[in-house]
Amino acid sequence: MEEWEDDAAATLERLSGSKMADAYVGTIRILSLTPPTLRRRYQTCTMDLALEAPGLESETLQTEVVLDKRYWPAVGTVLRARISRRKPRMIDADWEALARR
């Protein structure tokens, strides 16, 4: 069922002209990140990422993501991601995987 849902989403992205249409399927690897601070459960994390996918030249990206402090990643963490072919600095990472570990 999940593969069908992925195909349907990809078709919708192509039809709507989304920058994520025909995205590379690859990974992001966390190169560096800020530590959690204060006592708030959800916090902004600034991180440097290596974008990796077959056919994609090496790219790095600095981004900010709001994360649950309980599932803070570590340097070296690798997550599945889709990386836009049209705008390679646009990603759709599986951040929810941090909570499933």
Residue spans of the domains in the chain: they are: 23-98
Calculated CA dihedral for residues 6, 28, 36, 46, nearest 10 degrees: -100
Cβ within 8 Å of residue 12, ≥6 positions away: 18
The pTM assigned to this predicted structure is 0.79
Reduce the DSSP state of residue 48 to 3 states and report it.
Answer: strand
pLDDT in tens, the chain (101 residues): 345 445 665 565 555 556 666 788 999 999 999 999 888 899 999 999 999 999 988 889 999 999 999 999 999 999 999 998 877 678 999 999 999 87
